[in-house]
Amino acid sequence: MRLTQRQLEAHLWGAANILRGKTAGQDYKNYILSLMFYKRLCDQWENEADEAIAELERQQGRAFTEQQKAVFRARGAHRFFIPADCRWGDILAVSVNLGEELTLAMRAVADANEELKGVFTVDWNQPAPDGSGRPLIPNEVVHALIQHFNSHDLSNASVPPDVLGGAYQYLLKKFADDAGAKAGEFFTPPEVVDTLVHILEPQPGDTIYDPTCGSGGMLVHSADFLREQGHRPTSAQYFGQEMNWSNAAIGKINSVLHGLEAQIVAGASTITDPAFRAAGKVRKFSLVLANFPFSDEFWWLKPEFQTDDKKKKDKLKKETFGKEGYKDPFGRFGRGTAFKAPPAGYGDYAFILHCLASLTDTGRAGVVCPQGVLFRGQPEVEEETGEFDDEGNPKIKRRKADDEHLIRRALLESRLIDAVISLPLNCFYGAGVPACLLILKKQRPPARHEQVLLVYAARHYRELSNQNELRPQDVMRILVHAHAYGDPAKVPDLVARHRLRIGKQIDARETDEVERLEAEYADWADTLTRLETQLTKDSAALARLTAGAIRDKAQTALVRLQAQRDRAAAKVAERDEKIAAARRRAEDDRRDVEVVGAELGAIYGDPDELLKHARVVGIDEIEENEFNLNIPRYVDTFEPEPRVEVADAMAALQKAEQIFFDARSELHELLGKIGYAL
């Protein structure tokens, strides 16, 4: 039976529910994702063997014996090799020490396939922390998971790659929502990634690189963009590095499921040990996308030293930093380059300059940054010391410019910053600081060479319970501003193009959400149908019974059945309300996209109104502002005070005065009653 994506999502999330709470923190996502992938590999191995055997039987016009089939399976060609005794049926046959057997099987599969190195990082046999020797995840829980996954075939015969890839992305989003603040380590909200990718527009032949790739979302969205444009996702090449082994494993699985053939390297810092090198320098890519750890205090330390005590860190810092700052052996910043080394306490510019150093001569980059990179650091200043020389003139002390100011100035003077887009507060997991998108281009159009586009997109978002979210119409605003680059003539076509694409996206999301809810509540709907049929039958049978013990017993059973029916009906009603809410939200988004499209046309027809949203600023003006890129310096971000009619204000004042007089009279009356005369 072929599974729909929604059925598969419900099935996979059901496995997560079995394990949730059985492991430390949010680690359960790593177990579920790796087990799902292992089941997929095993099922697809069997599927490939069956297809090849069937083709041979067709060619030879005869049926193979089971012994012949077994021989062929052992030597047949497969996308990934699954060693003997490590296949799903072998695990299914185990009843004790399942965690140990599963861990050994997964590691054997990884060892047998170079591309799968580092994919299976979890230890299903990890001991509990109480010293009892028992496994952290009990044998019966592992058994329940195995049985749960065994209920569906995950090979291409039942689950096409695009369906499994979509379900995997859904799982990542669910795990991120579940993890809350910790999710920022491995997951960037898809609306932000979608915006960044559509600004930079990956092309066939691109080499696409994410230096802090987490679960690989930037790479997958780039491939999706290529598909959207009618290209094969493999028409580009994909590369990533991730310091956290578990997150890198998730990213590798994501890459394989989406057919990207991405090279993802794990376990080392991009700054201290960049994985992709050429001739002693970092390798060059045509497109770099990144959401790095914001303001990392210890960006200059290798991961194995980041847990050491302060004394050891101070010693390492002295060895790592010289008079010119961080001693970078890869020539990205510091001595011999155009850029100062970043300060030790803030790693933002270390990652930005790494992205820049990783670009080809015509490359472009999109980086998610804290807005502090736009204005932190003071220029060189002269200050009076309070002392005077022999002639009575005040003594002047010159204070050197801060490193971050010098880096930002060098980026601007080198004409590398193409655009800056501020984002709403709190739209990232675990990062409440204001963020922005920084667009860097090595080769900019001549007309833009002396300009920078600044977009204020912080006021438009959907407020959720834990964070804020860019709505479809908010994404459209940003993309129109970014692609128009201040040119009103481009806006009508841009609005039409993005309105069409985003409208289809809204339709697809509505369908997805409705199908998910129907899959999630399918058992309740089936139960309700069954119970109502049974109630009709039992009610008719009860009506034929005369008074007595049998009738009383049947009546009691009917009441119990009605209670079960009512519970199922309540769940179905809950589903229907959620579906109605999803449809209302989609309809609101569709309407708002139309409204925003019209608004954008009006905004670009009114220069004063446009100043409240986006502005193309000359480098000369930025220089006058001491290379400060804080967007409110250039774009009118202030919200106008609401208009108040004088008559309404006077009425409100009279009402307030009357309330005051009434309260004073009541107070005097109460004081008089207890003997206080005023």
Indicate the pLDDT class of residue 29, thresholds 50, 70 and 90: confident
Mean pLDDT calculated for residue range 421-450: 90
Q: Using one digit for the tens of pLDDT, what is the confidence trace for 595-616?
A: 999 999 999 999 999 999 999 9
Cα dihedral across residues 527, 533, 537, 542: positive or negative: positive
CA distance 484 to 480: 6
Q: Are strands 237-242 and 263-266 parallel, antiparallel or unpaired?
A: parallel
In this structure, what token pair is assigned to residue 220? Answer: 């997958």
Q: Using one digit for the tens of pLDDT, what is the confidence trace for 503-523?
A: 999 999 999 999 989 988 999
Instruction: For 180-192, give one letter per residue: b (16+ CB within 10 A) or e.
Output: eeebbbbbbbbbb
Q: Tell which CATH classification among 3.40.50.720, 1.10.390.10, 3.40.50.10210, 3.40.50.150 matches the domain 170-388+407-486.
A: 3.40.50.150
190-200 vs 472-484: helix axis angle to the nearest 10?
Answer: 20
The pLDDT of residue 439 is above 90: yes
> Residue 154: what pLDDT?
93
> Residue 639: what pLDDT?
64
> Residue 634: what pLDDT?
96
Mean pLDDT calculated for residue range 403-414: 95
Can you give the pTM of this predicted structure? 0.86
Tell me the average pLDDT of the chain: 89
Indicate the pLDDT class of residue 643, thresholds 50, 70 and 90: low
Q: Tell which CATH classification among 1.10.3720.10, 1.10.580.10, 3.40.50.300, 1.20.1260.30 matches the domain 5-159.
A: 1.20.1260.30
Is 214:251 a contact under the CB 8 Å cutoff? yes
In this structure, what token pair is assigned to residue 35? Answer: 């087990």
The pLDDT of residue 384 is above 60: yes
Q: 139 vs 94, 98, 122, 135, 311, CA distance in Å? A: 11, 6, 16, 8, 44
Q: Using one digit for the tens of pLDDT, what is the confidence trace for 242-271?
A: 998 988 999 999 999 998 889 999 989 999
The pLDDT of residue 181 is above 80: no
Least reliable range by pLDDT among 57-61, 285-289, 578-582:
57-61
Indicate the pLDDT class of residue 26, thresholds 50, 70 and 90: low
DSSP symbol at 61: T
Indicate the pLDDT class of residue 677, thresholds 50, 70 and 90: low
Is 185:214 a contact under the CB 8 Å cutoff? yes
Indicate the pLDDT class of residue 642, thresholds 50, 70 and 90: low
Backbone dihedral angles phi then psi of residue 132, each to the nearest 5 degrees: -75, -15
Is 110:118 a contact under the CB 8 Å cutoff? yes
The residue among 603 and 54 whose pLDDT is bigger is 603
Q: Using one digit for the tens of pLDDT, what is the confidence trace for 189-199?
A: 999 999 999 99
> Residue 134: what pLDDT?
85
Least reliable range by pLDDT among 236-240, 333-337, 365-369, 578-582:
333-337
CB atoms inside a 10 Å sphere around CB 116 = 21
Write out the DSSP string of 540-608.
HHHHTPPSSHHHHHHHHHHHHHHHHHHHHHHHHHHHHHHHHHHHHHHHHHHHHHHHHHHHHHHHTT-HH
DSSP symbol at 135: B
The pLDDT of residue 485 is above 70: yes
Q: Using one digit for the tens of pLDDT, what is the confidence trace for 465-478?
A: 778 899 999 999 99
Indicate the pLDDT class of residue 76, thresholds 50, 70 and 90: low
Mean pLDDT calculated for residue range 480-499: 96
The pLDDT of residue 169 is above 60: yes
Mean pLDDT calculated for residue range 157-186: 83
Least reliable range by pLDDT among 17-31, 330-344, 501-515:
17-31
> Residue 353: what pLDDT?
97
CA distance 170 to 673: 70
CA distance 14 to 451: 52
Indicate the pLDDT class of residue 289, thresholds 50, 70 and 90: very high
> Residue 597: what pLDDT?
95
Indicate the pLDDT class of residue 155, thresholds 50, 70 and 90: very high
> Residue 460: what pLDDT?
92
> Residue 284: what pLDDT?
97
Mean pLDDT calculated for residue range 5-34: 82
Write out the DSSP string of 207-258.
EEEETT-TTSHHHHHHHHHHHHTT--GGGSEEEEEES-HHHHHHHHHHHHHT
Is 238:219 a contact under the CB 8 Å cutoff? yes
